[in-house]
Amino acid sequence: MNETKAKTVLFFGPSGAGKGTQVELLKEHLKKQSERKMVYIEMGGLLRGMVARGDLTGKLTNEIISNGRLMPSFMPIYLMTQYLVDHFTGQEHIVADGVTRREGQARAFDDAMVFYGREDYEVVSIELSSEKIIERLLARGRNDDSEEKIQRRIDWYNKDVLPALGVMEGRGRTIHRIDGAPEVEEVHQEILKALELT
């Protein structure tokens, strides 16, 4: 098997854009194509792990998540850094999801990648119109998804998360803007093409 060059990919995308599905498809593709191991950093899972500890930090984290508030930036930065220190040997692919939801977190991720010699990382930003996001999320039929709540999430993404993408753009990083509207497989193929993995 030809060994592919180690890839470092950071995902952005609003709720409803299909980011989680595309992250999983990329991970499967890399596993099939390469014998390299993978470091997968997914902030939701890391925060749930923190809550499960049940100590003071876990309880405070749970309080913030349960009330739908944003974690203060130091916590995602700490969790991401700790995960890299514990799991990254320099050889693995890195796939990151949800680790840069504010500008400070984007700077921390970028600094970490420079530190580890992975400043050639690529950002996949899955983009979808507000109308399409609302349509998709309402069609999922979750009890907690009202149009008003979905609009709040879109506003938060535009206000907090997109400026984090701007930080990376400002530092000259490679941003692939992918249309999230087509079918899942078509979006997946576009991502593979952008990352030169086809």
| Domain CATH for 105 | 3.40.50.300
Question: From its phi and psi, is residue 87 left (phi > 0), alpha (psi between -120 and 50) or beta?
Answer: alpha
Classify residue 22: in a domain, yes or no: yes
Give the neighbor-by-neighbor strand order of the sheet with 174-179: 38-42, 93-97, 8-12, 122-127, 174-179
Summarised one tens digit per residue, pLDDT across range 114-165 is: 999 999 999 999 999 999 999 999 998 787 788 998 999 899 999 999 999 9
Instruction: Quote the percentage of the chain above a pLDDT of 90.
Output: 85
Summarised one tens digit per residue, pLDDT across range 61-70 is: 999 999 888 8
**Predicted local distance difference test score (pLDDT) of residue 161:** 92
Q: How far apart are the two ends of the chain, measured CA to CA in Å?
A: 15
Q: Can you tell me the mean pLDDT for 6-28?
A: 96
Summarised one tens digit per residue, pLDDT across range 70-120 is: 899 999 999 999 999 999 999 999 999 999 999 999 999 999 999 999 999
* Domain total of the chain: 1
Classify residue 63: in a domain, yes or no: yes
**Predicted local distance difference test score (pLDDT) of residue 3:** 60
Classify residue 2: in a domain, yes or no: no
**Predicted local distance difference test score (pLDDT) of residue 69:** 85
User: Containing domain of residue 175, as a range?
Assistant: 8-194
Say if residue 1's pLDDT is above 70: no
Phi, psi angle pair for 73, to nearest 5° = -60, -30
Q: Can you tell me the mean pLDDT for 29-39?
A: 94
